[in-house]
Amino acid sequence: MIEKDQLAGTWELDYISGPRIAFEGLYPGKKPFLKIEVDRNQITGSTSCNRFFGPLHRTGNSINFKDGLGMTKMACPGQGEQTFLNSLQKIDTYAISNNGKTLNLLMGDIALMRFQRQGE
């Protein structure tokens, strides 16, 4: 039996480091999410306003989103989208915890973003 890759799935953001604005203020309508398709080596998702897509760059627990993301171009209110995108650019590793339910995206050993698994 093939073991399922824990990174695969849909992840909803519930914490982002850095901004002085409360999380609910950054994302008042809907929260950003990532959908990681390990078998297709791609990532899709939403910044809470625009949708994005691109290749998955991962080796072991190293991961990055520095290049190759395409995105829709709707005008977005507030600072939520830019905060999300700026944080994604800094990510270099990930860790999965809480029995596969929590995804932390890290810069070095600092958790910049935390996501919760959706729909499973």
Contacts of 70 (CB under 8 A, 6+ apart): 52, 53, 54
pLDDT grade for 120, boundaries at 50, 70 and 90: low
Residue 2 has pLDDT above 70, yes or no: no
Q: What's the whole-model pTM score?
A: 0.92
The mean predicted confidence, pLDDT, of the chain is 92
Domain chopping of the chain, boundaries:
9-118
What CATH class is the domain 9-118? mainly beta
Q: Mean pLDDT over residues 65-86, rounded?
A: 91
pLDDT, tens digit, 9 for 90 and up, residues 16-67: 998 788 899 999 889 999 999 999 999 999 999 999 999 999 999 999 998 7
